[in-house]
Amino acid sequence: MTDSQKLVLMIQSTKLQGAIWQAVLKSQKISVIWEAPDTDLLESIEQLQQAGLTLPDLLLIDVRLQQINPFELCRWCRDRYPALQVILTDTSQTEISQYERRWAVYQGAADLLPGFQRDNLVSSVATAVKRVLEVLDSHPLNNGALISVLLAMKRQLELSEAEAAKPKIDKVAKTEPIPVNEKSAESKPSDRKGKVIPIKPLEQPTEAPAPNPKLSYRFAKYPSSN
């Protein structure tokens, strides 16, 4: 990292917002450290200071994080490390009111920015990155590099959405049809599982024949009378 290159330490509540920030900031030659949401940020900064390591130039923190009180963080940085800038983001909002922005600045933040929106990704990202570069007092926005990254990211998002929208078809195991010999099926059932056996239709009942005196009755034969 060169002396003029800026360093941003970032904690975002969603992977998508974090991935966009990381890609677009790197397109502007800004180094990015992306920390996990459960990071103890105050302790990490204190350890860097005690070790004599370079502190970040900017903290990019989402206000929706459960582990961090964003306004307490701003006041702490203002009192302990006034050169360390803080920009807050609110990924749950598409617009930030003037009242909310003034309150964040009053607490010590450089700005409060809304989350990125997919329907106007290019314009929302360009506005946010310009503001970050202003706070960092960095070089002007590199439009070509930013647009190139955004177009690639937009295509990737569209492909991911199209893949997710595809209907999921359960795969049914295919079994070979079992040939059925109709002649044998009528005479005896098959012992092969899943084989369909045709059922022979029942014959219509006929009238009982007249009794024959020559027939046996209870196994005793009686002669017929002539």
> Could you give the 3-state DSSP secondary structure of residue 187?
helix
- Tell me the pTM: 0.70
Architecture of domain 7-164: 3-Layer(aba) Sandwich (3.40)
Please give the pLDDT value at position 219. 42
Please give the pLDDT value at position 90. 95
205 Cβ neighbours under 8 A, 6+ residues apart: none
Please give the pLDDT value at position 88. 98
CB 7 within 8 A of CB 1: yes
Cα(76)–Cα(68) distance, integer angstroms: 12
In degrees and rounded to multiples of 5, residue 59 shows phi and psi of -105, 130
- pLDDT tens digits, the chain, 226 residues: what are they? 444 789 999 999 899 999 999 999 999 999 999 999 999 999 999 999 999 999 999 999 999 988 889 999 999 999 999 999 999 999 889 899 999 999 999 999 999 999 998 888 888 999 999 999 999 998 899 999 999 998 888 888 888 778 888 776 555 445 555 555 544 444 444 455 555 555 555 555 555 555 554 444 344 444 444 4
Residue identified by tokens 């009686």 is 222
Domain positions in the chain are 7-164
Please give the pLDDT value at position 2. 47
